Structure 1
């Protein structure tokens, strides 16, 4: 039997988790927490919003993490006249150094017929790093 390797730990040192409060985004957070517990990943939770109650989202995150890891929580406010959620996430990724982005495949959109939402598609196609979409 060979010794286990921890190559995955190098792929997942710094993880970004965009959160919109949807169940899919919270499941993405669960996966990031698991990776952090297994591999020592540093997790940053990012909430991008225009007019939002970021304290409510932060409380959801706090309950979901339940003290299992230490994480950073960041809020980016934007104007829909000048940008979009996906543009703000991509800008943040490009300004920082992340090894992976873990996000919900579909957020709070009204149409339940979509398997993957527009923000997830845009980030997955344009991010310069690994993107894991969670359903």
Structure 2
């Protein structure tokens, strides 16, 4: 686990009252949920689970998600046909369906932790921008997210989205690997 803190470099209980957790179906976001849930339980906080559409991802990328075992048979068939036909980026309808599966899965996992949580509407836009807008909107004191998402970037310690968020955020950021 890597923790990136604000200039104050001190986490307080106040920071943990509202915890935003962006999820993308990756194993890192699954680990981030567990840590965010532990923090919420310790500080009587509330989790806000969000997902930004996986724009630009093709069927191969979507089938490679750690959460793909949650896809129903018709969705698997659609994605496998798209892989065979090399159709390029997945259409909005598929991205929204997968986004809802991801949110539902993470909500189910959060409910097993006996903590307060809320799933937010699916976001659409540049991931870092959307996550930071949501952080400001709900006034979250902390963002907990996976260090690497579905891009599996090897070029830096953090994935490009998490690195951008940590550079721009006005709150405590915790990166989970």
Q: How many residues align?
A: 125
RMSD: 1.9
> Which residue matches 2:52?
48
Matches within 5 A, 1:34-113: 34-49=38-53, 50=55, 51=92, 52=95, 53-65=98-110, 66=112, 68-78=114-124, 83-112=125-154
Q: For structure 1, which runs of at least 5 residues remain unmatched after alignment?
A: 1-6
Query: Paired residue for 2:31?
Result: 27
59-68 vs 35-44, greater mean Cα deviation: 59-68
Residue number in structure 1 paired with 2:176: 134
- 1:86-122 Cα distance to aligned partner (Å, 9 max, x none): 1111121222301110000100114456431110001
Q: 1:47 and 1:56 mapped to 2: Cα distance?
A: 10
- Select the structure that is richer in strand: 1
Residue aligning to 2:164: 122
More helix by share: 2
Q: Is the Cα contact below 8 Å between 1:103 and 1:120 reproduced in 2?
A: yes
Contact 1:54 1:75 in 2 (8 A): no
Structure-2-length-normalised TM-score: 0.64
Structure 1 residue 70, shift from structure 2 partner: 2.6
Task: Decide whether the 8 Å contact of 1:45 with 1:72 is kept in 2.
Answer: yes
2-side partners of 1:62 and 1:46: how far apart? Answer: 10
Structure 2 unaligned blocks of 5 or more: 1-10, 56-91
Higher relative contact order by CA 8 Å / sep ≥ 6: 1 or 2? Answer: 2
Does the residue aligned with 2:119 lie in a helix, a strand or coil?
A: strand
Q: State the SS of the aligned residue for 1:101.
A: strand
